[in-house]
Amino acid sequence: MENDTPEGTRKIIDGRERVFYSGYWLKTYSVPEDTLQAKRQLIGALTRRLFNHVEHGLNIPGSRLNEARQSYEAEAETETERRRVKGAMLAGALFNRAADIFTKLVELQTVGIEIQSDNALMRECGRCLQEALGLGRLVLHRSGEEGIDELWGEPFKAFSIPLEDFYESRYIKIALTLRDIDRIAGTISANFEPLPCFAGITPHVLAFSKAAKIKTETLRTDPDIFDVWTSFVTAGERLSGHFNAAAMPANAEAQHLVDDGRQLIQQGRDLVSNITRARTPMPKSTEEYIERCRTYAERCALRAG
């Protein structure tokens, strides 16, 4: 039984190796050789991914690090909102400075210059990543709902631990992401299926959550990504488009309640999409969404009573 399967167990399923974490069998990918070149490529990819999911305006070039720091430190402590944004911009500059350093180190290595782990530039790169990680708490997801601390921690983790350990840590995080997708899907199904205007939504919810989970565990470089992404997008469209118009009540107040429900389903689809694309849990947003669904179901029950 899967309850007895040790975490980290690997097994070939349908011709593909998978690893078991938190109740899920996840696709595995080959780990590149642990070199500076491989780490540079990984940190570069993680940094691009980070800027793709956080609020706009944070991709400050590393060459402007001193300017970003001066602007952040000059901001008055009382201006908390402005200081948060400037701290987020500083974090972006620090990440880019680290990427710049790593690029130069790899260039030196390619011409035969050996780079030791205690090299001054290596230490400076680690310091930049660590400081950026500390500032990551100031940064919001592009949705504006919450931060995703894990995205800020990943480049530093990739820098500081062996690549094999980094990949394993990602599998653990992806499993937790799949768990939250299932929680959101279960909440939508449980609260909307009993309502006449949304009856029959469960198959669409299940299809969407399945497609989201497959997308979450699939890298963009995977040959299957074209079919995986297409299935994910179209399943989301079918979910948000499901509605039994014939069951729409005549009363205007009740119609407004139904419209609130349709909007709530759309929000659930968007939340799952954000989680899926980031491949990282969003616990605060997930809990808040689950609570909103429960509150909506209670409103519907009162209306029916």
Q: Which spans in 193-243 are helix H?
A: 202-216, 225-241
The residue from 161, 193, 217 where one domain ends is 161
pLDDT-based confidence at residue 185 (cuts at 50, 70, 90): very high
Residue 65 has pLDDT above 80, yes or no: yes
Q: How far is CA 201 from the centre of its chain?
A: 25
Distance, CA of 186 to CA of 44 (rounded, Å)? 36
Q: Which stretch of 82-91, 118-127, 287-296 has the lowest confidence by average pLDDT?
A: 118-127
Q: Do residue 149 and residue 184 come from a single domain? A: no
Question: What's the confidence (pLDDT) of residue 97?
Answer: 92
Q: Do residue 207 and residue 294 come from a single domain? A: yes
Q: Do residue 150 and residue 213 come from a single domain? A: no
Per the CB < 8 A criterion, the answer to whether 178 and 217 are in contact is yes
Q: Do residue 93 and residue 200 come from a single domain? A: no
Question: What's the confidence (pLDDT) of residue 142?
Answer: 79
Containing domain of residue 189, as a range?
Answer: 178-304
In a domain, 277, yes or no: yes
Residues 47/53/54/58 CA torsion (nearest 10 deg): 50
In a domain, 18, yes or no: no
**What single letter denotes the amino acid at residue 72?**
Y
Residue 3 has pLDDT above 80, yes or no: no
In a domain, 106, yes or no: yes
Q: Do residue 204 and residue 146 come from a single domain? A: no
Q: Which long-range contacts (CB under 8 A, 24 or more apart) does 204-209 make?
A: 204/235, 204/238, 204/239, 204/242, 205/239, 207/235, 207/238, 207/239, 208/232, 208/235, 208/236, 208/238, 208/239, 208/269, 208/272, 209/181, 209/182, 209/184, 209/185, 209/272
What percentage of residues in the chain have a pLDDT greater than 90?
Answer: 58
Average pLDDT over residues 85-108: 89
Q: For the segment 219-242, what is each residue's pLDDT rounded down to a tens digit?
A: 988 999 999 999 999 999 999 999
Question: What's the confidence (pLDDT) of residue 224?
Answer: 94
Q: Do residue 77 and residue 194 come from a single domain? A: no
Q: Do residue 156 and residue 184 come from a single domain? A: no
Q: Do residue 121 and residue 71 come from a single domain? A: yes
pLDDT-based confidence at residue 146 (cuts at 50, 70, 90): low
Work out how many domains the chain is built from and give that number.
Answer: 2
Average pLDDT over residues 256-284: 93
Q: Do residue 115 and residue 153 come from a single domain? A: yes
Higher-pLDDT residue of 111 and 190 is 190
In a domain, 276, yes or no: yes
Q: Do residue 295 and residue 240 come from a single domain? A: yes
In a domain, 245, yes or no: yes
Q: Do residue 223 and residue 266 come from a single domain? A: yes
Provide the 8-state DSSP code for 139. P
Please work out, in degrees rounded to the nearest 5, the angle formed at the alpha carbon of residue 197 by the alpha carbons of 282 and 256.
80
The residue from 136, 161, 186 where one domain ends is 161
Q: Do residue 188 and residue 241 come from a single domain? A: yes
Q: For the segment 186-219, what is each residue's pLDDT rounded down to a tens digit?
A: 999 999 999 999 999 999 999 999 999 999 999 9
